[in-house]
Amino acid sequence: MRYSIVASKYVKALLLVAKKYKKEEEYAFYIQLLKELYTMYAFYLNNPTVRVEKHLTFIENLFEELSKKVDKSIKVDSVFFKFVKIIFNNKRQKYIPQMASLYKYAAIESQNKIPVKVTSAYTLTPDEEEAISAFVKKYTGKEAVIETFLDERILAGVILEFAGKKLDVSILGRLEKVGRGVFSLRKG
């Protein structure tokens, strides 16, 4: 996914405010929740014939309903809601999903850590995760924040993605490399 410059500027601003008030994790939760609400009600929230005030009231009511019926700890503070108002007043709501994703990574990077996507055929053991963390730290100098994904198609090994690079040490990756080599020989 390509990220918008617009979304990144909003995320930087939100992260600065979150750090100032020491609410990085709380705002991470709220921005993910806002993304889910936006995704569910995008048709209405993107409707240009509905006034911005109605959109904001709708969002505020959704947060209140979630607080009452699902989780009493959901209490969106005025600072975060001002952020939501700015998004809607500037007609930037279509960037909310990108903002949520970017916020997650920006918060990790602001702590001098690096997000690492690990895809494996099975659940990693703590020793394997530690080995991956050590590998990443050796090459980046930053502590790894590992996010694992399961994909049985890779058979064995892992696919690491960090710092804009992809390292494929899976059986599937090696088989694909061999296949490309065989087909290049047939053409030549």
Residue 122: domain span: 114-187
Decide which of 109, 143, 173 is a domain's last residue.
Answer: 109
- The mean pLDDT of 56-64, rounded to a whole number, is 90
CA 35-39-42 angle, to 5 degrees, is 120
| Co-location of 105 and 14 in the same domain | yes
The answer on pLDDT for 1 being more than 60 is: no
Residues 40 and 100 grouped into a single domain: yes
Q: What is the mean pLDDT of the chain?
A: 86
The predicted pLDDT at position 52 comes to 92
Residues 89, 13, single domain; the answer is yes
Q: Does 174 lie in the same domain as 105?
A: no
Residue 188 pLDDT more than 60? no
d(C-alpha 61, C-alpha 48), whole Å? 20
- Where are the extended beta strands (E) located within 14-164? 113-120, 143-150, 157-162
89 and 121 in a single domain? The answer is no
Count of structural domains within the chain? 2
d(CA 179, CA 135): 28
> Which of the listed residues 58, 74, 109 is the one where a domain comes to its end?
109
Tell me: do 77 and 125 sit in the same domain.
no
pLDDT digits (tens, 9 = 90+) for 114-144: 888 999 888 888 998 999 999 989 888 888 8
For residue range 16-48, what is the model confidence (pLDDT) as tens digits?
999 999 998 889 999 999 999 999 999 999 999
Section 148-165 average pLDDT = 86
Q: What percentage of the chain exceeds 70 in pLDDT?
A: 94
User: What pLDDT shows up at residue 112?
Assistant: 82
Q: Sign (positive/negative) of CA torsion 108, 113, 115, 119?
A: negative
**Same-domain pairing of 69 and 40:** yes
Q: Supply the CATH number for residue 80's domain.
A: 1.10.520
Question: Are both 15 and 78 inside the same structural domain?
Answer: yes
State the pLDDT at residue 39.
Answer: 94
Shared domain check, 85 and 149 = no
Given a contact cutoff of 8 angstroms between Cβ atoms, the answer to whether 108 and 114 are in contact is yes
78 and 166 inside one domain: no
Distance CA 108, CA 105 (A): 5
Cβ atoms of 118 and 147 within 8 Å: the answer is yes
Least confident segment among 6-15, 142-151, 164-173? 164-173
**Model confidence at 185: pLDDT above 70:** no
Q: Are residues 16 and 78 in the same domain?
A: yes
Residue 148 has pLDDT above 80, yes or no: yes
Instruction: Give yes or no: residues 56 and 80 share one domain.
Output: yes
66-84 confidence digits (pLDDT tens): 877 777 667 888 899 999 9
**Residue 155, CA distances (Å) to 19, 121, 122, 132, 170 in order:** 42, 6, 9, 18, 7
- Single residue among 75, 109, 143 that ends a domain in this structure: 109
According to DSSP, the β-strands at 165-170 and 143-150 are unpaired
Query: What is the per-residue pLDDT for 110?
Result: 81
